[in-house]
Amino acid sequence: MRILILVRNFLPGHHQVISGEWNVAGVAYRAYDLEGKTVGTVGCGRIGKLLLQRLKPFNCNLLYHDRVKMDPQLEKETGAKFEEDLDTMLPKCDIVVVNTPLTEKTRGMFDKDRIAKMKKGVLIVNNARGAIMDTQAVVDACSSGHIAGYSGDVWNPQPAPKDHPWRYMPNQAMTPHVSGTTIDAQLRYAAGVKDMLDRYFKGEDFPVQNYIVKAGELAPQYR
């Protein structure tokens, strides 16, 4: 959704409706098709893989960067290509989606220098954590036009203070941290917690994907 909002320049059109305007050219001059664009995901865990699967019907050129390659069958199904080096992938992308966990290694990963390596006019969607981005570097790049659009619901800090610069920078489509708070998601959380408690009291193992640490070691998907 956030990719489409940025690609199609949706928000200015919506604001025209509210303000009583009607200026198609004022929206269209920054609106593009998603088809044919190169989209790269930084991080290809559960969410990154789902993103690639959902983008497949849009006929994009899909790239992904992670510590390890995905399952060959899924790679074939999505048509996504593995990029071992992040700084080699970024200049190829029209759209970059951040799906990597926040660690000491990824904190501030997208600083002024790394953003400068991206295409001028790149669109960025951050699904991960606000602290992965250098806050001021994003503001400066949005103001200069190097980043043509930035969207996400993750901030640093959270809740975002009223004077947080991302609230006021141009070409942003930010929201509070709402992505995981749909009614349907809450029902899934409740069912998942009940299932894990039932398994725990019965002495059963959890599904593999539910483990973060098992037997004192980090689960394989997080290594």
Domains of the chain: 1-174 (3.40.50.720), 183-222 (no CATH)
Question: Are the C-beta atoms of residues 9 and 34 closer than 8 Å to each other?
Answer: no
Which residues face 81 on adjacent strands? 63
pLDDT tens, residue by residue, 152-176: 999 999 999 999 999 999 999 999 9
Distances (CA, A) of 148 to 9, 53, 93, 96, 128: 10, 25, 13, 12, 20
> For residue 222, what pLDDT band results from cuts at 50, 70 and 90?
low
pLDDT tens, residue by residue, 33-92: 999 999 999 999 989 999 999 999 999 999 999 998 999 999 999 999 999 999 999 999
Question: Are the C-beta atoms of residues 64 and 39 closer than 8 Å to each other?
Answer: no
